[in-house]
Structure 1
Amino acid sequence: IMADHLDLLLGVLLMASPMFGIPSCSSDGRIALFRFCNLTEIPPVLNTTERLLLSFNYIRTVTATSFPLLEQLQLLEIGSQFTPLSIDKEAFRNLPSLRILDLGKSQIDFLHPDAFQGLSHLFELRLFACGLSDVVLRDGYFRNLTSLIRLDLSYNEIGSLYLHPSFQELNSLKSIDFSFNQISILCEEELKPLQGKMLSLFRLKATYLYIRVSVDWEKCLNPFRNIRLETLDVSDNGWTVAITGNFSNAIRGSQISSLILTYHIMGSGFGFQNLKDPDENIFTGLERSSVKRLDLSHGYIFSLNPRLFKTLKDLKVLNLSYNKINRIADKAFYGLENLQILNISYNLLGELYNSNFEGLRSVAYIDLQKNHIGIIQHQTFRFLKELHTLDLRDNALKTISFIPDLLTVFLGGNKLVTLPNVNFKANFIHLAENKLENLADLYELLQVSQLQILILNQNRFSSCSPSHAPSGNRNLKQLFLGENMLQLVWETGFCWDVFKGLSQLQILYLNNNYLNFLPPGVFSDLTALRGLSLNSNRLTVLPPGSLPANLEILDISRNHLLSPDPGLFASLSMLDITHNEFICECELRTFISWLNQTNVTLLGSPADINCMYPNSLLGVSLYSVSMEDCDEEEVFKSLKFSLYILFIVTWTLFLVSVLIVAKFRGFCFICYKTAQRLLFHDRTQRIESDRYRYDAYLCFSSKDFEWVQNALLKHLDTQYSDRNRFHLCFEERDFVPGENHITNIQAAIWSSRKIICLVSRHFLRDGWCLEAFSYAQSRCLSDLSSVLIMVVVGSLSQYQLMKHQSIRGFIQKQQYLRWPEDLQDVGWFLNKLSQCILKKEKGKKEDSRIQLRSIATVS
C-alpha cells in the first residue's frame, strides 16, 4: 500500500521521525512532545508546530476552540487518554493541514457527527479501540474527508457495516480495517457505497464473521459486488470448510488479488477426523476472481486433496505453513500452472514422492523447512524446470541425491553425515547444523564453479583425507565455517591448502573452531579477502604475514592473544580485539603505543581490552597501562620467556589431552577397566549373600524387550554369560505364568535388592509399568532407602516425564540416570549402573512384621 501511495509513506516517516533530544513536556518549534504530562487540556504551542503528541494524559474534551490556529500541523496524536474523551463539532477546524489524526485507544464517550469537518487534507484516521458502535458508520461521520486514504476502526464495538452514502464520495479511500469487532454477518446491501471503488486493503480479521448466525446466502448475496480488492483479510474467524466454500461462492466474480484466510479451523488435524479437510469444491467460486495470493497458514489441514486448487488458475503465491499437512495426494496442485511461490513449512510431512508437486510448471521457490522429512524420491523436484530455490532446513534428511540443478539450496539443520556425489550447480548452498565430519566434503563443494555463498556453520569437521586437490574456485565470495573443529584437522598436518585458489573470496568465518594456531600460508591465496572472523578460538599468537595483505575487517576477539604485533593490522579499517588475555609486560609496549595512536576503528568497549596478567593489573584497560619502567626489567627477560614457553607447552598438552579423552573416551574407559583387572587380578566385587532372591528387578515395557536384552541383559545377567555378576529378574522370564500380574510385580519388587525402571516412551504408555513404578516407590518409603534406580531411555524431555505424577514426585527428590546417546559411553554407563546395584544404602528400616520382605537396599 505504501509503495502505491506516497501520502501513506509520508505518514510513516512522520511517525518515525527522530525525537531524540526533545525534553518531555516541551516543544522545539516543530515537534511538541507532551506524552505522560498529566495534562487536562490542550497546551499552547507555537504556530510552527508540525507534530503534536498528546497521548497518555487526562484530556477530557476537545472543542473547536481547544487548538489555536496551527496551519503547519500535519500529525496530531491524542489517543490513549486515561479518561473518557468527548469530541465536539468541528473540533479540529483550526488544523487545516492535518494529515494524520490518531485517536486510538481512547474511550470516546461523545463524538459529534461533524467532529471531523474541515479536515480536507486528512489521509489517515486512527480510531482503533475507541469503544465506537455502528453509528459511526451509519450517520456520516466521515463525510467530506476527500483525501482520506486509510481508516482504522479495529478493536471497537461495531456489529454491522451499513455504510452511510457519504462513503461513495470518499474517492481516495484505499484501506479500511474492521478487525476485532463483532460483525456477525456482511451482505451486499451494507457495502453498496463502496461499489465501483478499488481498495488496497479490506480487513475483517477476528470479527466472528458468519460463524454465529445462520446465513441465507441467496438473500445476503455478494458483499463485495463491483468492489475491486487488492487484499481481503478474513483471517482468525474460525471458518470451517463449509463456511469458506459458501463465502467463495457468494463472492463469485469479485476481483480479489490477495485473500488471507489464516488462523482457520479447516482440516482434520493430526489424529482427528472431526473436521473435514478442504476438497476440490471449496474454492470453486473464486474461479473468476483472479486471486494471485492465497494464505491458508495456521490451520489444521492434514491432507491436500486432489484438485484442491483447480480453479485458482492465476495463483502465484500459496502459503500453507503452520498446518498439520502429512499427506499430499496426487494432483493436489492441479491447475496451479502459474504458481511461483509455494510455502509448506512448519507441517508434518515425513516423505515426499515423485508425484507430489505435479502440475507446478512455473514454481520458482518451495519452502519445506521445519517438517519431519526424512525420505524424498529421486524425481520429486526434477521436473520443476523453473525451480531455483528449495528450502529444506530443519528436517531429518540423511541423503540429498534428489537435489536437482538449483540456484539456491537450503539444507541446514538436517542429519547429513557425508555428501554423496551430487552435481550441484547452485550459487548459494546452506548446509549449516548438519553432522558433516570430513573436510573432503568441503573440497567437493568448492568444485561447484558457480558457487558464491557457502554456509557450513555448526557441523563437525574434525578430519580430512589428504588426497583432494585444491578447487581453484574463482566465484566464491563468502564462506562460513564457524563452530566446527578445524583444529583437529589442521593439527594432523593435512588440508592446509583448503583455501588455495579462492582468489575472489571476500568474507571468511572461522569462529569457534578451537584453533590454537594458523597453518603457515593458509590465507596466502585470499587476495580479495576483506572480512575475517577468528573470534572465540584459542589463538595465542599471530605470526608475521599470517593475515591477507588487503584485509579490512578482522574479528579476533575472545582468543588468548598475549602480545600481538601491530604491524599485522596495518591494512585494517575495523578491528575487534576485545576479551583476549593480554600479558601487560614490556613485550606489549609496542602494541599499547599503537593502540593509543591508531586510526583503525576498534569495535567493542575499551573496557574489554584489558590485562589478564600480572595480577596487579588484572582487569585494567590497556589504555591505562604505563610502560615507562620496562627498561629495568631486561635482566629478567630470559627467565620470563622460559616460563612463558613452559606455560604454553603445558597448556597445549593439557588441551590436546582433553580433546583426545573427549574424542576417544570409550576406548579410554576400556583401557582403564583392563588395567584394573590386571592390577587386582580380576577380583570382581561380589554381592554378599543375603535373603534376596534377585540382585535387581528390571521393569520395562514389553515393546522394549529386544533392546533391553541386547543393551543390558547380555552384559549384566548371569544366565546370559558366565562373565556377568548379577541375577536379574524380569517379566518375560521370571514371572509365574497364570499368577495375578500385580502379585508377580509385588513379588519381584520385594524379593529384589534393587528395582531398575527403564523409562521410555513405551514405558510411559504402559499402565503396568507405571503401576510397578508406584510399588517401587512404596518399597522405598517402607525401607527408608533409595532402592529405586530410574533410567531414562531415548529423547524424553523433562516436560514429558513431569506429566506423570509418580515419576514427577521421584525426579523432584531423587537423581536419575539417562541412557547415553553416544555408543562409546555405554561401557561407562553399564559400569555406573553396576556400582549403583552393588552400593549399599544406609538407614534401612527394620520391621519384624515383614521380615520375609525386608531386604538390604543397594543403590
Structure 2
Amino acid sequence: MEVKITLSGKGNGSTYPRLSFFLCILLYFWVLFNPVNGYSMKHCRIRESLNVSVLCDGRNLNAVPADIPLLVTSVNIAKNNISQIKSEDFKDLKFLKMLIMYSNRISHVENGSFSDLVALEQLNLAFNKLTSLSDQMFKGLDNLTVLQLENNHISSIASSSFQLLFSLKVLNLTSNKLHCFKELKHILQLPSLLKLFIGNNSLNSLQSQEISNRSIGLTELDLSRNPLEIFSVTADIFPYLKKLDLSFCGINGSMEWDVADRYFLSNVSSLDLSGIHMSLQGIGSVLQSINFSLASLGLDKIGKDNLINVACHIPTLKTLRLQCNNFSSVSDKLLQSCTQVTDLDISGNNITDLSEAAFRSIKDLKTLRLGYDGLSSVPNATRNLRTLKNLDLSHNIIKTLGCSDFSNLKRLEKLYLNNNLISNLEGCVFLDLRALNSLTLRRNRILNLGEAFTKGLQHLKSLDLGFNKLTNIRTNYFKSLRSLEDLALYDNEIKTLEDGAFVGLAKLKNLVLLNNVIGKSEIRGAVFKGLRSLKTLNMASNAIKYEKDEQLQQPPFTDLSSLENLYIFSQHYTKYMRQSCLPSNFLEGLNMLSEFQAGNLHIAYLHPDTFIHTPQLLSLDISQNFFHALSPELFHPIPKLKRLTISKTELESLDFLIEANLTQVRFLKVRQNKIKWTNETVLHSLPALTLLDMQRNPFICDCRNAWFVQWAESNSQTQVAYAHDYPCSYPDDLKDTKLLDLDTHSCSVDLGIFYFISTTSLVLLTLLGSFIYHLLRWQVVYAYYLFLAYLHDSKRRNRQTPHQYDAFVSYNTHDECWVVRELLPELEGEQGWKLCLHHRDFQPGKPIIENITDAIYRSRKTICVITHRYLQSEWCSREIQVASFRLFDEQKDVMILVFLEEIPDHQLSPYHRMRRLVKRRTYLSWPRAGEDTRVFWQKLQVALETRDWPAEENPILTGVERQ
C-alpha cells in the first residue's frame, strides 16, 4: 500500500494542526493494521515490464486464483481445469485490460462476474464448455473491443447479452452450435462491430429482411463451414463489407444465392468460395454479384476448371487462389483470361504437366505459388516471367537445378525451394537473379555448395540452408554475397570450417551453425575473419570441448567486435570426457557481448577472468553444468548484468552473490540445484531483483528458512516464482508439506509489545513535532543555527584565523541588482574594500550553511541589506542569525545593518536579536529617491573603518535612532 499526499500553499493557522493530527492518526493505523502487500502468488507468477501481467496458464487450477494483485493489467489463466466463473473472482480489478481463459472447462459464468472490469479490452473464453450466453454475462465491459468465444457449445444467446458492449470491434463465435441467424440480430447492430466470425456453426440461412432494416458496420464476415441453404440480401445492409468468407458453405450443392442488386456488395474486395457446395451456375451468379471491387478470390477445392474463366473476367481481380483442385495438368488455355492477376496460388494440385505457356498471358504476375504440386523439376513455365517477385516451389520432388531454370527472372526477390530433393548446386543456377534478397533451401539433400554463391546474388540478404547434408564450409563459399545479413546453416553435418569460410560477408548480422559436429579446432579467428557486423552467433549443439586448464593461443572471436549474442550451449557429450572447461580467454574480443548462453557444457569451473573481456554483458546462462560453487570474482567484470540463470547444477549455496557486486540483476533463476536455505544477506546484495526462481531445490523446513518464508510472502519488490509450490525435503515428517506453510512463530520472540511501544512513541513524537513546528518553529530553527555558529566560533577562536575579507554582504537575490550596481562599485571600486559575495566567493560543492559561516568569520564586518524579501528568505535569516551571534558573543562591532526599505517593528519580532540590536543601536538607511547618496556612502565607509573596538563603545557614526 502506498499513501501519497501532496500539500501546496502555506495554509492558515487552524487548518494545519488538524491536517497534521489527521496524518499522524493515519500513519498510526497504517503501521499497526495495514497488511503488507506481497509480491508472491500461490499458483501464478507475475511478469512486470511496462504493464503488470499475471501468468497462471497450465497450472492445473480448479478455480480463479484469489490473490491476483489489484493493479494487474493482464491475466492469463489458460489451459487449466476451471469449470465456472464466480461473481467475486475478478472483484476490484479496475485496471485489467486483457483476460485470457481459453482451454479450460468453463460451463457457467455467474451474472456480473465481469462487472468490475471497467478497463477490459480483450476477453478470451475460447475452447471451453459454454452452452449459452445470459443477459448479464458481459455487464460492465463497456470498453471491451475483442471477444473470443470460439470452440464452445453455445446454442443460445440472450437478446441483451451484448447490449452494453458499445466498444466491441471483433467477435469470434466460430465452431459453436448456433442455428438461427435471427439470434444474432442484436449482435449485428452493435455500433462499433467491424469483424464477425461465425464459421462452423449450424446456420442454414442468411436473409437480410430477418436481420436488419438498416445498414450494418461490418467490414469482415466469416460464414465458412455453415450448412447455408440461402444467402439472401434484398437490402443494402452491408455497405462497408470488404471481406466475405463463404468457404465450404451449403449442403450437396443446394446453396441458393439471392443478391437483389449487384451494388449491395460492391465494396467486397476479398471473397473466399473454397469448397462451397453450389452449382456451377450458382457460383457464377455469386461472381457476377461481386465484380466491382473484388481483388482477392479463393477457389480452393472447387474442382471446376471452367470457373477460372468466369473469375478472371472480373476486371479488378488481382489475387487468385486455386489450391487443391486436382489440376493434374495446366494448359496454356486454363489461365488465358487471367491477364490482370498479380498473385496466383495453384499449390497442392499434384501437377504433372505444366504447359510452358501456362502463365504467358499473365503480363504482370508478381507472386506464383507452386508448392505441394509434385514437380520433379523447375517448370519451363516459370522462365521469362519478367515481373515475378515471389516464387514458391517448396514441398515438391525437385532433384536438380539447371542453369536456365531461373533465366530472366531479374525482378525476383523471394525464392522458396525448401523441402525438395536437391543434392547439388551448379555455379550458374542463380546468376540471373539479380534482385533476389531471400533464398530458402531448407530441408534438401545438398552435399556441396560448389560455386553457387561465388558469383551473382549481390543483393541477397537472407539465405537458409538448414537441414541439409553439408559437411564442410570451404574458403570463399559465400564471397559474392556482399549484402547478406542472415545465414542459416543449422542441422547439417558440418565438421570443417576452413579459414576464410565467410569471406565477403561484411554485412552479415546473424549466423546460425546450430546442431552440427563442429569441434574446438574449427572455431578460429581466421574462420570468422571479416565478420565485423555480426550481431548473433549460434553454435549450440556442436562438439566444442576444451581440456581442463587449456589456454587458447588464438582466441576464436577476436574479430567479432560487434557481436552481441553468443550461444554455445549443449555441446555433444562423449563417454570419454566426464568434464570439459571454458578457457579463460575464450571470449576475448567480445567487448559488445550482451547475451551469453553456455549451458550444458559439462564444465565444473569458470576462471575468474572468464568475463573480463565482456563488460557489457546483460544476460548470462550457465545452467546444466557441474558447479558446486562459484567465485564472486567471476562476476566483478560484468557489473551491468541483469539476468542470471544457473539452473540444474550442483550449487549448494548462493553465498557467492554477497560479494559478486551484482547490483543490477533483475532476474535470478537457480532452479533444480542443491540449495537447502538462503539468508537475508544474499538477497539484500541484489537490490534490483524483481524475479527469483528457486523451484525444485531441497529446502529444509526449519528456522533457518524462517526469514526467507516471511520475505517471500511479504516483500513488495521481488517476486519469488511459484514459491507456494516449494516442497520440504527435511525433516522427514514435513516432506509432504510446502516451505511457505512453515510455522515461523516459534522462530522469533513475540515482538508485539515492542511494536506497540514503538508505534505509540512514533505517534507521540509526531504530535509533539507538529506542535513545535506550528508554534515554535522559528525559535527552534534560530536556536539550531545559533548552536552551529557557537561551534564554528569556538573553532575559529582556537585557530585565530586572519580575516580574508573586509566585509561579507548578506542580501536577498531580489536585491542583487542594488548590490551589483550601487554597493559593489562604491565600496570595491571607489573605497577599495574587499567584499565577500555569495554568488561570487562561495566554494562550489560545499554545504551552504558552512559557506555562510566561513564567510562571516573570515570577514571583519557583515553588511546586512535589509528588505521585506530579505526577512522572508530562509538563507538570509540564517546569515543574520550567525552574524548576530558573532556580534553578541565577541562583543565587537562586526555587524552593519543597511535598510533599503522601511521595516515595522512587528515584522522584526521573529528575529529577536536583530530587534534588540535595532532598538538600542543605530543603523543606515538608503536615501529616498532624489536624495543625495554621498552622505550614506561616507557613513558606510566610517562604519567599515572601525576596528576591533568593543561593540557598545563604537556605535555606527550616523543614522536614525529607533526607539
Report the TM-score when normalising by structure 2. 0.53
Q: SS of the residue aligned with 2:389?
A: strand
Which of 690, 698, 704 in structure 2 is aligned with 1:553? Answer: 690
Name 1:581's counterpart in structure 2: 699
Which amino acid is the alignment partner of residue 716 of structure 2?
N
Which of 577, 598, 604 in structure 1 is aligned with 2:715? Answer: 598
Q: How has the CA–CA distance of structure 1 residues 549 and 351 changed in structure 2, closer, same or farther, with 3 Å as cutoff? A: closer
1:404 has 2:529 as partner: yes
Kindly report which structure 2 residues correspond to 1:651-662, keeping only aligned pairs within 5 A, or say none.
Answer: none
| Of 173-182 and 425-434, the range deviating more from structure 2 | 173-182
Name 2:843's counterpart in structure 1: none
The Cα of 1:237 is off from its aligned counterpart by 0.7
Name 1:72's counterpart in structure 2: 216
Q: SS of the residue aligned with 1:162?
A: helix
Q: How has the CA–CA distance of structure 1 residues 239 and 630 changed in structure 2, closer, same or farther, with 3 Å as cutoff? A: closer
Q: How has the CA–CA distance of structure 1 residues 132 and 239 changed in structure 2, closer, same or farther, with 3 Å as cutoff? A: farther
The Cα of 1:44 is off from its aligned counterpart by 5.4
Q: How has the CA–CA distance of structure 1 residues 440 and 297 changed in structure 2, closer, same or farther, with 3 Å as cutoff? A: closer
Give the conservation status (yes or no) of the 8 Å contact 1:132–1:156: no
Name 2:653's counterpart in structure 1: 517
Q: How has the CA–CA distance of structure 1 residues 69 and 601 changed in structure 2, closer, same or farther, with 3 Å as cutoff? A: farther
Give the conservation status (yes or no) of the 8 Å contact 2:216–2:237: no
1:530 has 2:673 as partner: no
Give the conservation status (yes or no) of the 8 Å contact 1:410–1:431: yes
Cα deviation, 1:599-618, whole Å, max 9, x if unaligned, reads 34645556414555556655
Cα deviation, 1:99-149, whole Å, max 9, x if unaligned, reads 443323334523456549412333433333324676577566254454444
The Cα of 1:471 is off from its aligned counterpart by 0.8
Q: How has the CA–CA distance of structure 1 residues 91 and 13 changed in structure 2, closer, same or farther, with 3 Å as cutoff? A: farther
| Of 126-135 and 408-417, the range deviating more from structure 2 | 126-135
Q: Distance in 1 between matches of 2:405 and 2:646?
A: 52
Which amino acid is the alignment partner of residue 699 of structure 2?
E
Q: Distance in 2 between matches of 1:529 and 1:434?
A: 27
Q: SS of the residue aligned with 2:381?
A: helix
Q: Distance in 2 between matches of 1:233 and 1:259?
A: 6
The Cα of 1:382 is off from its aligned counterpart by 2.2
Q: Distance in 2 between matches of 1:537 and 1:335?
A: 53
Q: SS of the residue aligned with 1:328?
A: coil
Give the conservation status (yes or no) of the 8 Å contact 1:205–1:233: yes
The Cα of 1:533 is off from its aligned counterpart by 1.5
Name 1:430's counterpart in structure 2: 567
Give the conservation status (yes or no) of the 8 Å contact 1:191–1:223: yes
Which of 238, 242, 246 in structure 1 is aligned with 2:380? Answer: 246
Kindly report which structure 2 residues correspond to 1:371-770, keeping only aligned pairs within 5 A, or say none.
Answer: 371-398=492-519, 399-401=522-524, 402-406=527-531, 407=534, 408-418=536-546, 421-422=555-556, 423-425=558-560, 426-434=563-571, 439-441=581-583, 443-445=585-587, 448-463=590-605, 468=609, 471=612, 473-487=614-628, 490=630, 496-518=632-654, 520=656, 524-547=660-683, 548-560=685-697, 581-583=699-701, 585-586=702-703, 588-600=705-717, 602=719, 604-605=721-722, 607-609=724-726, 611-613=728-730, 617-621=734-738, 626-628=743-745
Name 2:447's counterpart in structure 1: 326
Q: How has the CA–CA distance of structure 1 residues 432 and 132 changed in structure 2, closer, same or farther, with 3 Å as cutoff? A: farther
Name 1:299's counterpart in structure 2: 420
Q: Distance in 1 between matches of 2:728 and 2:337?
A: 75
Give the conservation status (yes or no) of the 8 Å contact 1:129–1:153: yes
Q: How has the CA–CA distance of structure 1 residues 630 and 349 changed in structure 2, closer, same or farther, with 3 Å as cutoff? A: closer
Q: SS of the residue aligned with 1:176?
A: strand
Name 2:387's counterpart in structure 1: 255
The Cα of 1:444 is off from its aligned counterpart by 2.9
Which amino acid is the alignment partner of residue 528 of structure 2?
I
Give the conservation status (yes or no) of the 8 Å contact 1:140–1:164: no
Name 1:176's counterpart in structure 2: 320
Q: Distance in 2 between matches of 1:600 and 1:260?
A: 51
Q: Distance in 2 between matches of 1:121 and 1:214?
A: 35
Which amino acid is the alignment partner of residue 146 of structure 2?
S
Kindly report which structure 2 residues correspond to 1:262-277, keeping only aligned pairs within 5 A, or say none.
Answer: 262-267=394-399, 277=400
Q: How has the CA–CA distance of structure 1 residues 440 and 417 changed in structure 2, closer, same or farther, with 3 Å as cutoff? A: closer
Q: SS of the residue aligned with 1:409?
A: strand
Q: Distance in 1 between matches of 2:380 and 2:744?
A: 84
Give the conservation status (yes or no) of the 8 Å contact 1:477–1:506: yes
The Cα of 1:550 is off from its aligned counterpart by 2.9
Give the conservation status (yes or no) of the 8 Å contact 1:240–1:264: yes
Q: How has the CA–CA distance of structure 1 residues 263 and 503 changed in structure 2, closer, same or farther, with 3 Å as cutoff? A: same
Name 2:434's counterpart in structure 1: 313
Give the conservation status (yes or no) of the 8 Å contact 2:424–2:446: yes
Cα deviation, 1:760-779, whole Å, max 9, x if unaligned, reads xxxxxxxxxxxxxxxxxxxx
The Cα of 1:316 is off from its aligned counterpart by 1.0
The Cα of 1:393 is off from its aligned counterpart by 0.7
1:154 has 2:271 as partner: no
Q: SS of the residue aligned with 1:379?
A: coil
Cα deviation, 1:471-529, whole Å, max 9, x if unaligned, reads 16321121121111122x64xxxx54221221222212111121012354565333332
The Cα of 1:549 is off from its aligned counterpart by 3.4
Which of 409, 434, 454 in structure 2 is aligned with 1:287? Answer: 409
Q: Distance in 2 between matches of 1:359 and 1:112?
A: 60
Q: SS of the residue aligned with 2:185?
A: coil
Q: How has the CA–CA distance of structure 1 residues 169 and 523 changed in structure 2, closer, same or farther, with 3 Å as cutoff? A: farther
Q: SS of the residue aligned with 2:239?
A: coil
Name 2:92's counterpart in structure 1: none
Q: How has the CA–CA distance of structure 1 residues 424 and 582 changed in structure 2, closer, same or farther, with 3 Å as cutoff? A: farther
Name 2:176's counterpart in structure 1: 36
Q: How has the CA–CA distance of structure 1 residues 256 and 138 changed in structure 2, closer, same or farther, with 3 Å as cutoff? A: farther
Q: Distance in 1 between matches of 2:172 and 2:391?
A: 41
Give the conservation status (yes or no) of the 8 Å contact 2:621–2:646: yes
Which amino acid is the alignment partner of residue 264 of structure 1?
N
Superposed CA RMSD: 3.7
The Cα of 1:313 is off from its aligned counterpart by 1.1
Kindly report which structure 2 residues correspond to 1:54-73, keeping only aligned pairs within 5 A, or say none.
Answer: 54-69=198-213, 71-73=215-217
Name 1:356's counterpart in structure 2: 477
Q: Distance in 1 between matches of 2:183 and 2:339?
A: 43
Which amino acid is the alignment partner of residue 641 of structure 2?
L
Q: SS of the residue aligned with 2:382?
A: helix
Give the conservation status (yes or no) of the 8 Å contact 2:371–2:393: yes
Q: SS of the residue aligned with 1:503?
A: coil
Q: SS of the residue aligned with 1:356?
A: coil
Which amino acid is the alignment partner of residue 87 of structure 1?
I
Name 2:753's counterpart in structure 1: none
Name 1:222's counterpart in structure 2: 360
Q: Distance in 2 between matches of 1:179 and 1:365?
A: 31
Report the TM-score when normalising by structure 1. 0.59
Give unmatched runs, 5+ long, in structure 1. Answer: 1-11, 268-276, 561-579, 634-859
Q: Distance in 2 between matches of 1:542 and 1:590?
A: 9
Q: Distance in 2 between matches of 1:224 and 1:13?
A: 45
Name 1:345's counterpart in structure 2: 466
Q: SS of the residue aligned with 1:497?
A: helix
Q: SS of the residue aligned with 1:366?
A: strand
Q: Distance in 2 between matches of 1:465 and 1:617?
A: 40
Q: How has the CA–CA distance of structure 1 residues 472 and 193 changed in structure 2, closer, same or farther, with 3 Å as cutoff? A: same
Q: Distance in 2 between matches of 1:254 and 1:111?
A: 42
Give unmatched runs, 5+ long, in structure 2. Answer: 1-121, 127-144, 166-170, 547-551, 574-578, 751-963
Q: Distance in 1 between matches of 2:354 and 2:405?
A: 19
